[in-house]
Structure 1
């Protein structure tokens, strides 16, 4: 049985990214947006000089998370493609920063959201973009009703 299609869903490309497993992704990305943004703002206000790179990277992660959340809520094929690109960039960032923090820990006197591949966040930062890309690719393969 197919999901009911609203006029706005049909206008956006025939599917709603925020339904089914997409709803969990919207929730998780929303939580990570708030967590990364809150963490970076507090750290930048209280002690920016201690680890500016780490705090700016956490703020950048928050922006990426916010854009992915927005794209998932918006739905449609254009938003799906934009979210795929952002998820790929997010995964690249997690892998780059994660590797950097393992190889050169002195470069990060304080942790970022992506430090040690997101270990401080139960590795969700490295799992989330992979899961989201799988969902977005699957959603793009669904036929329009």
Structure 2
């Protein structure tokens, strides 16, 4: 299958920090980009990053429970994505199921030899990378953009 050409940002929403990842223009590989404080400047900074990398879309992780239900965290992610959309103009914003992304990121960092403290410093970026990579893989497999457009 094919994947749309263009760079994307992946976003892992947290109450204290927001992890951001980016992919290459061919949509093959997601890599960590930045951790942004979850304060009043978070939307402006992500919008700046989208412009800097010429992003075609932003994929925001939607934390759905294992049984498929949406919790308080999912509602917060939906609200975050809606506010982000107001700041990024014509850049698409999508919600993508992020089940287990933080656990996967933590496991990857641990297996890479990261200590507890150094993992905490980059876990949000790593989770954003897992979210974005999964979205890219889903699009490549299905041939259609993943998730739900805001």
TM-score normalised by structure 2 residue count: 0.25
Larger strand fraction of residues:
2
- TM-score, scaled relative to structure 1: 0.25
